[in-house]
Chains A and B, each alone.
Chain A
C-alpha cells in the first residue's frame, strides 16, 4: 500500500492470456452458421454499399455536373421540372468492415474485462464478416491511432485477425475525435466502421462519430459497459484518480452522491445513444456480463450487418 507520494501510475496492461482459444473459435464457427440462417438467399458480396455507383438499384438523384455520364440523366424528371438530375444506384461491391477498438486505459480498468470483451466482439464480428467474404480491418486507438490490421479478406485470414487482437495492448487516454479524423484521412476505401469503446471520452466522442459520417463511413457504435463502472463500490472520503489522465478529485462519497453518480452514468450513455440515433447511427450498449456470442447474434439480428 502506498502511503505517501503520488498514486501509483497505472501501467498499460497486456492481455497475457490467449483470449481466443479453440472453444472460442468453435463458438465463432457456430455464430457464422447461425448468421447464415438469419439471412437466407444471400449471395456473396451482396451487401449494399452506401457508395453510389453503377449498380442496378436506384439510390438517389444528384445535380448533373459537366463530365457526368449522360446515360444516367433522369429524363423523366427533366421533362417534368427541366432540372438535370443524375440517377445514382447502389453499387454492389464487397463491403469493407473497419473495427475501431478502443484500447485506452479505461478499457483495461480493473481486470481488463471491458477490453477483453471488446476484443471478443471485434473477433466475432470480424470473423463473421470474413466468413461472408467481406474485407475486415482492425484499428486500435486511444488518444491516437494504434496498431492496425490492414484490410484482409477470406475466412482463412481469421487466425491473423485473432492473433492481431490478442496482441493488442491498452493504455493512454481516449481522444476519439482526433483518432476518427486521422482514420478517415488514412482509409481511402469507405465502409462500415464498428466503433467498440466504453464511451469514456469526454473530449468529443460525438465529433469522432460525425467525422466518420462526414467521410461517408457507416459508423456503428458498440458501447461496452461494465456494471462496476455504473455502480462503483466506493464509500467515504476518497481521492479519485483518473486511470487515463491521472487527474485527481477529492470527494466524500455518500449514498446520495452514489445515486447521483449512477444517474449521471446512465445519462451519459443515454446521451451518446440519443446522439447516434439522431444522426441515424446505430448504437448499442452492451454489458460485459452478457455472453459475447449472444450479444453478437443480437447485433446481427438488430444491427443490419447482414442482409
Chain B
C-alpha cells in the first residue's frame, strides 16, 4: 500500500486533528438546545427510568461517535489516495500517438490520426487493473498528455486531447521522454501508434536500448501512398523594380504513378498563374513564375490532381509573403552627380532631396544620407552612404589615409548582398581613397593588397556603407553593378533589405522585429483563431504548428506570416512496415479494465457515503444520537 495524496505523517496528523475535532464536537453536543415548555412534569412521567436510560444513551453516544470517526477516517484515507502497490506483474505503458502532418492523410477513419486514436483507445481499454499507461503526443516534440496512470477514464480523455499538427514528426524527443518515464518500472512497454513517417528513429532506438526488458510495439496506421505536394514556394521582389516579383514553385509527386496536376497561384483571390503540369512519379517539377505583379503581401499556390484529390490535402497548398514596400527618404549631399541622380530615378519608392555640402545641416527626417565626394565632421543621425570620399581639410567622420591609384576589385565577398547581383571584377577606376577601417567593419571589396574599396560598418553608432571609388572616375556608371549597388545599399541602410522571404515551415521559429512601442502582438490564423503574444526586446519569436497564412498586428505594424507543411519530409505517406527494429506489430491483448484498479479512494468514498447514510437513518430512527 502506498499513499499518493498525503504523506503518512500528514495522514496521521489529519486523523488525529479531525478525530479530536469530532470528539470535541461530541462533547459540545452534550449541551443540547434548551427549550422552554409549559411543564416538564408530563415529560418527566415518560422518562422515569433515568439511570438505565442514561447508560443506554451513553452507549448510543459512543456508537454515534464511532460512526462519525469512521466517516472521518474513510474520507481522510480517500484524500490520502491510498493505493495498492503495483504488483510485479503489472505493465507500465507509454503510448506514443503520432500527430505529425502525415497523420492528417484521409485514408483512415477518416484520418490516420483518428485511426491511431481508435487503436490506442482499444489498447487502453484492454489494460489490466494493475496496469498503468501514459499518453504522449508525438510530432516535432513529445507532449505528455497524462501521467503514468491506471485511470482509464483520464487516459481516454488524454487521448481525446491529441491534436493534429502540420509539424514534421520526430521520434527522438518521444523516446527520450519514454526512457525517463519507464526507467525502473515493472514490465515497461512502449507502444507507437503511427504511420512510421518519423525522423530520429535511429537515435530513438539507441535511447530505448537503455531501458532493460523494454517491450516495443508498433501499431501501424495508413495504407494509401498517393500524394502530391508543393514542396517549395517562395517569392521575391525584383531588385530594380519592386512592384514586380517572381516566384518559384516546386511540386513533388509521392504517388505511385505519373500525375497531372493543375497549379494555380493567387494573390488576394486574383489568379496570377495557372498551368497544368505533368509530374512523373517520385519526381519534382519546378516552375519559376517571372514578372508577376498585382500582389500586395501574400501569394497562395495550390495544386489539384486531375485524377481527383490525393490523401493529404494540407500539403496541396502553400503560402508565401512579399516584403512590404515603404517609401525611403534619401538626402544627397553633392555638388552634382548625374550618375547618382540617374541611378536614384530607377526606384520609384525613393523620395530624393538634394543639398550642397555647404548647405548640409544634418540628416533631418531622411532615412538615408548619401555623401558624394564629401565627408562631414560627424556622422549624421541617419545611416550614411559615402561615395568617393574626399579629404575635407579637418577631422571627418571617416578617416582617409591617402589615395590608391588604379584600384581593382580583386577581393570581393561574392555572397554579400551589396555586391552579389553585380559584376565587379573588371571594374576600372582611376583612383580610390584609402579609408581607415575599424574593428567591426566589413570589407566587402578590396584591392589585391587588401586596400578596402567597399566597407560596411558603423561610426558613432550610425551604420554606413562607403565606396572608395568616385563613380565619375570609373566605368561603373556603364555597368549594372552601379545601380544595383546603390539601391541595394539604400535598402540595406534603410532596413528595406528583404528582397525575398523564405517560406517558413510549421514548427520553425520565425523572428519578427516589432516597433519599439509594441507591448503586445496578436496573431490571427486564416481560420480566425486569435492568440496574443508578448514581444521580448522588440522582437517576437513565432512558432506555429498548423500551416496557413497568419496576420500579425502589433502597435501600428501589420504583417503576414506564411507557414507551410514540411511537405518534403511529411509528403511521403507510405506507411513504414517497421520503425523500431525490436518492435512487434501484433494487436494488443484484450483484458478487462477495472473500475477501481489500484485505487481505493472511490471505494473509501462509497463506504463513507454508506456509513453516512446509515448514520442518517439511525439518527432519524433515534437509535443513535
Which residues does A use to contact B, with CB under 8 Å?
A: 2, 7, 10, 106, 109-110, 198, 200, 202, 226, 229, 232, 234, 236-245, 247-252, 254-257, 260-261, 264-265, 268
Cβ of B46 and Cβ of A243 under 8 Å apart? Answer: no
Please, how many angstroms separate the alpha-carbon atoms of A76 and B57 in the complex?
A: 75
Q: Please indicate the chain A residues that have their CB under 8 angstroms from the CB of B38 in the complex.
A: 106, 109-110, 198, 200, 226, 229, 242-244
Q: Please indicate the chain B residues that have their CB under 8 angstroms from the CB of A248 in the complex.
A: 34, 40
Least CB distance, B429 to chain A, in whole angstroms: 107
Least CB distance, A103 to chain B, in whole angstroms: 14
Least CB distance, A302 to chain B, in whole angstroms: 27
Which residue of chain B is the closest to A114 with respect to CB atoms?
A: B38
Q: A242-B38, A252-B57 are in contact. List 8 more A-B contacts (CB 8 A).
A: A106-B38, A200-B38, A202-B41, A236-B33, A239-B32, A251-B43, A255-B622, A261-B42
Cβ of B34 and Cβ of A7 under 8 Å apart? Answer: yes
Which residue of chain B is the closest to A110 with respect to CB atoms?
A: B38
With A251-B47, A252-B622 already in contact, the answer to whether A243 and B36 are too (CB < 8 A) is: yes
Q: List 5 A-B contacts (CB under 8 A).
A: A226-B38, A237-B625, A239-B31, A241-B34, A245-B40
Q: Please indicate the chain A residues that have their CB under 8 angstroms from the CB of B47 in the complex.
A: 249, 251
Which of these, A2, A256, A265, contacts B42 with CB under 8 Å?
Answer: A265
Least CB distance, A207 to chain B, in whole angstroms: 16
Which residue of chain B is the closest to A105 with respect to CB atoms?
A: B38
Residue count of chain B within 8 Å CB distance of chain A: 21
Q: Please indicate the chain B residues that have their CB under 8 angstroms from the CB of A241 in the complex.
A: 34-37, 40
Please, how many angstroms separate the alpha-carbon atoms of A109 and B35 in the complex?
A: 12
B534 in the interface (beta carbon within 8 A): no
Cβ of A106 and Cβ of B42 under 8 Å apart? Answer: no
B44 in the interface (beta carbon within 8 A): yes
Q: Please indicate the chain B residues that have their CB under 8 angstroms from the CB of A252 in the complex.
A: 57, 622, 625
Cβ of A250 and Cβ of B36 under 8 Å apart? Answer: no
Cβ of A240 and Cβ of B43 under 8 Å apart? Answer: yes
Least CB distance, A174 to chain B, in whole angstroms: 9
In the complex, per-residue mask of B183-227: 1 if CB is within 8 Å of any chain A CB, else 0: 000000000000000000000000000000000000000000000
B89 in the interface (beta carbon within 8 A): no
Which of these, B36, B41, B46, contacts A260 with CB under 8 Å?
Answer: B46
Which of these, B40, B41, B622, contacts A254 with CB under 8 Å?
Answer: B622
Which of these, B31, B39, B44, contacts A244 with CB under 8 Å?
Answer: B39
B401 in the interface (beta carbon within 8 A): no
Which residue of chain A is the closest to B623 with respect to CB atoms?
A: A254
With A249-B43, A265-B42 already in contact, the answer to whether A7 and B36 are too (CB < 8 A) is: yes
Least CB distance, A142 to chain B, in whole angstroms: 13
Which of these, A200, A256, A261, A264, contacts B622 with CB under 8 Å?
Answer: A256
Cβ of B29 and Cβ of A237 under 8 Å apart? Answer: yes
In the complex, per-residue mask of B279-314: 1 if CB is within 8 Å of any chain A CB, else 0: 000000000000000000000000000000000000
Q: Counting chain A CB atoms within 10 Å of each CB, which of B36, B38, B47, B57 scores highest?
A: B38
